[in-house]
Structure 1
Amino acid sequence: ALRVKSSVGAAQGKIRISDNVPEGLLFAPYHFSDLNINQVLPSATNSTAVEVSKA
């Protein structure tokens, strides 16, 4: 599992590495309620810098 943390919150979940997402980027769809990625996003944007660590 992977943990992502931003200045406003954190989330963790399983990951899948894909050639469709460039190195250095993390894609997390909003529709997975168990991940709740909205916890790491500031309310004014849909992207932010995060710290990534092993969960």
Structure 2
Amino acid sequence: MAGEQKSKAKMEQAKGKAKETVGRAVGNERLEAEGRADQAKGDARQAKEKTKDVFKH
């Protein structure tokens, strides 16, 4: 389960970065903001998983 959550976090971060980059390239502020939000979600998920790992060991 933890591995699945970690990969979801990486996917969200990558998807967010791509959206942000495309949004910036085409001048679409909404897409750029969505990208930053997706990245933040991925960062939060990753931090949660790291915290879980710390308490497991």
Normalised by the length of structure 1, the TM-score is 0.25
The answer to which structure has the higher strand fraction is 1
**Which protein, 1 or 2, shows the higher relative CO under an 8 Å CA cutoff with sep ≥ 6?**
1
Task: Please tell me whether Structure 1 or Structure 2 has the larger radius of gyration of its CA atoms.
Answer: 2
Normalised by the length of structure 2, the TM-score is 0.24
